Chain A
Amino acid sequence: MTNGRKGRRRLPILQRSIRYHRPRAPFCGIGYCTNCLVRTDQRLNVRACREGFPTEGIRSTSHAWPSPRHDLWGLLDLLFPRGIDTLRGFRRPAWAAPVYQRIVRSLAGYDTPERVAPPPVPRPPRVCSTDVLVIGSGTSGTAAVDELRTRGVDSVVVLDRDRAANDGAMPGRTTAIFLPPPIPRAAYPFRVLASEGSDRAVLVSSRRVIVATGGYDASLLFPGNDRPGVMTADGAFSFERAGLEPFRRAIAFGGGDRALEVVEKFGDRLIAVVAPGEIGPDLARAASDWAIPLYPRSLILGAGGRSRLRSIQIRARSFGPKQTLHADALVLAHRRIPHAQLFFQAGARMVWRSRIGGYLPAVDARGATSVPGLYAIGSGAGAVGPDASRESGRTAARALIEGAEPGVDLTPPASTEPFYEMQGYYRELLAEHEGFAKWIACPCEDILLRELRRASEAGYEGIEVIKRYTGLGTGLCQGRYCVPDAVLLLSIWEGRPPTEVGSITQRPPLVPTTLGQLAELEVPLSTPEASG
């Protein structure tokens, strides 16, 4: 495993998919997807990427046999090239139903709690109250905190999933998991649940909340889109940081700023930049510095290679020629999706933005949302670039100090925005072929594109119903990597705008949180209002 060019470990195959036991290598790198689930001595379903891919102390989950690299159950994938239909299948003969049940059930789940040591008694929860809670300490969050401090607001608590907060109030890696709607007329209307590591719960009562949770890189649909080696830009950066070798020869997919970041970081290891639309001038310039060929307005038609990605087949849009590019990775940097889940939870009014193909909270010019006391800043609120992010943080901090009520000028529905690029991309791609290889529409649950299509053809409409019909979006990533594309496809098939296809309800918690942690919150939460 340590035969990399610089003696670094290649991306390990730590996981098999849940239904067809397809090999999976780390994909998102930020702790959401299921591709690096492992277990430690005390915890199930730990994401190795969150632990920095340690070489010791982690074990693969127990659903692959004998190992995730060589898994006999992988035969299921070969035996069922068109998938297994658990909804319509396994119905006859009647006497076989219990047998089917026993077999299908025995394949469920990744791991079993008995395999880990009894969990340590969770540390008592951290409970505090504050004037302002800032969730996320990236560019905009930090700017907001600085502005608050400068203006004499000292009662500030910062939660961040990756970094130790700059005020030391929270020790870092504290993930906000549940931001319920505010309690009217309470001294501290917001009671935010968070999780520190995996064994401690946090309850922050706050007068006001600023959310600066940014965004993440989307996945992409094509035949074989879950092949080890396909990863998001988030993932590529994270694997590199963890000292792994994410790839040797990669293709970057995207034509904008995010793809530019990928080129700047990995220019020496990129063999192509492929984009669904035009390629921006800055990106084109950077790519030419490294002599990387550009393939603008191109479709990704499929992936070659069995257990690892070996090639990518592309075709210029509008029926251009097909080409095969040989690479061991595809880095997805075409689309960044805002982390809007907390706003959904809080009941804020949301607006579909065609420009990004996703939902953002409706905000006024100062960052106030429709929920009194809740502010949205940074890229998760629509700011583009670091300068705009910083400015949105400072503006919201000032508005908050002045006690601004939500403005009347909340972002109007964005009907004049350009038609979202990826919709046209998928329309063309689907017209091409649906391919023999599996298109994985929902990687966590191994739901195939075919299943979505069938549900749509059977007359089921809207993402909420399709989710319940197919199971898409019900897995461990909480729908982050499947729902955005599914909404676009449904919009194409149903012939109506994405807003009418809808959005799925963001159900708490935001990331899986252990029962042990949540149990510790019973006492603090049973008091009507937390005090200092």
Chain B
Amino acid sequence: MSAPIRSEYRVVIVGAGVIGLYTAYHLARAGFGPVLVVDRGFLSSGASGRNGGGVRQQWETRATIRLARESVLAYRRFARDFGVNPWFRQSGYLFLAENETELERLRHVHEIVAGEGLPSEILDGSRVARLVPGITPTAAVGGTYLRTDGTLYPFPVVWGLYEAVRSMGVEVLLGAEALGVRSADGRLTGVATTRGTVATRTCVNAAGGWSRDFSERAGLTVANAPTRHEILATEPLKPFLDPMVVRARDGLYFSQTMRGEIVGGISPATRQPLTSAMASSPAFLARMASALVRVLPSLASVGVLRAWSGLYDDTPDGLPVLGEDPRLRGFVHANGFGGHGMMLAPSSTARVARMILGERVDLDPAEFGPRRFDLGQPRRFTEALQLG
């Protein structure tokens, strides 16, 4: 087990998932280093290797739409920029509305999204049926569709970033857990890991589902709450379904991957205890199967190949936490993505990196800042379109 090469780093990033590696990438591109990334697990062992690969731009908050839009552009270029192909496929996201009330709500989102200049569309039942061949007629009276949303394979994104940052001199230590921080006078001075303690004045908490743990190890109470979500994949089928199909009511989502598997999840019926962090549950298999078969009855004859679970790093308002914690100078949050880390990573980490470089960014601290959940602060933004 190797130890960090240096005793001091300009930035230590905790978490080698898509958020941590992308942050390292942006820092390295700006010539800011040396940077050390530590992760307790193996590459892609966390949510970056466990998500459904959706990249959407349909959100209720304008700032998030802008972040997502930039991420879509980044993923379009990803294969060329990083030499690894995540097969980003822009075949749209379709939100289903089961009744007029839901359609009304989607219409409201549509107006915000269209207001940002994106080609969002309102579809009636028959157009939904054309996009989702075989859909139960009662499953949707209509929906919203944004054709430039898409899906990708999460793993190649991790490989591409890993190889890129290492070639730029970033040190990535896998199987190394961050145990806590060293500080003096409210300023971060170092990070303790299972491979030894290193000195640094900047530490990025990009630990995803474990970010709450790490913040607490740094003595900071945070509002993040890790929750377990599950996914299943079916046997590969000949391609018949293009868009990612989602339903806001129960968080059902599913798409057909490049390999032909139907991959999807659904929100748990009850909040999941964390004791079984990475296990699958029989209840999920049944709940997801039931929801899927009701929407697409022909899938009843299709076999489920495997199911797995991962952690969402949820926040009370459904928006990520980005930026330095005023209680501990040098401790930077890049977490709380609530299951949307993959889709928001390229753009949001670019801003985190700029904050570390001391530049101004276009993020409102009231919307993304670490202290926005403090008592007395009125909640100005919430993002309700959470899935899975």
Residues of A within 8 A of B (CB): 18, 42-45, 62-63, 86-92, 94, 97, 101, 104-106, 108-114, 116, 118-119, 122, 178, 180-181, 191, 193, 203, 347, 458, 460-462, 464-465, 468-469, 474, 476, 478, 505, 507-509, 512-522, 525-526
Q: Is the CB of B298 within 8 A of A113?
A: yes
Q: Is the CB of A106 within 8 A of B239?
A: yes
Q: Is the CB of A45 within 8 A of B303?
A: yes
Q: Which of A89, A516, A522 contacts B85 (CB 8 A)?
A: A89
Q: Is the CB of A507 within 8 A of B286?
A: no
The CA-CA distance from A519 to B293 in the complex, in Å, is 7
Residues of B within 8 A of A (CB): 42-45, 49, 79-80, 83-85, 87, 89, 133-134, 155-156, 159, 163, 234-240, 257-260, 269, 276, 278-283, 285-290, 292-294, 297-308
- 3 closest residue pairs by CB, A with B: A512-B303, A109-B260, A516-B300
The CA-CA distance from A526 to B301 in the complex, in Å, is 23
- Nearest residue in B to A86 (C-beta to C-beta)? B85
Q: Is the CB of B42 within 8 A of A105?
A: no
Q: Is the CB of A110 within 8 A of B44?
A: no
Most buried by A among B257, B288, B297, B305: B305
On chain B, the residues within 8 Å of A458 by CB distance are: 163
On chain B, the residues within 8 Å of A112 by CB distance are: 237-238, 240
B266 to chain A, nearest CB (A): 11
On chain A, the residues within 8 Å of B80 by CB distance are: 91-92, 94
The CA-CA distance from A129 to B294 in the complex, in Å, is 29
Q: Is the CB of B280 within 8 A of A507?
A: yes
- Nearest residue in B to A506 (C-beta to C-beta)? B306
Q: Which of A88, A109, A508, A512 contacts B285 (CB 8 A)?
A: A508
The CA-CA distance from A365 to B196 in the complex, in Å, is 41
On chain A, the residues within 8 Å of B134 by CB distance are: 113-114
Given contacts A88-B84, A469-B159, contact A110 B237 (CB under 8 A): yes
Q: Is the CB of A519 within 8 A of B290?
A: yes
On chain B, the residues within 8 Å of A119 by CB distance are: 297-298, 300-301
Q: Is the CB of A468 within 8 A of B239?
A: no
Please list 12 pairs of residues, one from A and one from B, whose beta carbons are closer than 8 Å in the complex, sorted by A's number.
A44-B235, A44-B301, A91-B79, A91-B80, A105-B258, A468-B49, A507-B306, A508-B307, A509-B307, A512-B304, A518-B285, A519-B286
- Nearest residue in B to A191 (C-beta to C-beta)? B282
B5 to chain A, nearest CB (A): 16
Most buried by B among A461, A462, A476, A522: A522
The CA-CA distance from A116 to B49 in the complex, in Å, is 34
If over half of A's interface residues share one DSSP class (helix, strand or loop), that class is named, otherwise mixed; here it is loop
The CA-CA distance from A513 to B302 in the complex, in Å, is 8
A515 to chain B, nearest CB (A): 4
On chain B, the residues within 8 Å of A86 by CB distance are: 85, 87
A147 to chain B, nearest CB (A): 30
Q: Is the CB of B237 within 8 A of A514?
A: no
Q: Is the CB of B302 within 8 A of A44?
A: yes
Given contacts A178-B282, A478-B306, contact A465 B258 (CB under 8 A): no
Given contacts A458-B163, A507-B307, contact A62 B238 (CB under 8 A): yes
On chain A, the residues within 8 Å of B286 by CB distance are: 518-522, 525-526
Q: Is the CB of B238 within 8 A of A462?
A: no
The CA-CA distance from A118 to B306 in the complex, in Å, is 23
On chain B, the residues within 8 Å of A469 by CB distance are: 155, 159
The CA-CA distance from A315 to B157 in the complex, in Å, is 43
The CA-CA distance from A110 to B44 in the complex, in Å, is 28
Q: Which of A18, A108, A513 contacts B304 (CB 8 A)?
A: A513
The CA-CA distance from A101 to B283 in the complex, in Å, is 35
Q: Is the CB of B302 within 8 A of A181?
A: no
- Nearest residue in A to B283 (C-beta to C-beta)? A525
On chain A, the residues within 8 Å of B305 by CB distance are: 476, 478, 512
Further pairs besides A45-B302, A108-B260: 11, Cβ < 8 Å:
A104-B258, A108-B257, A110-B236, A110-B260, A113-B301, A178-B285, A191-B282, A508-B306, A515-B293, A522-B286, A526-B286
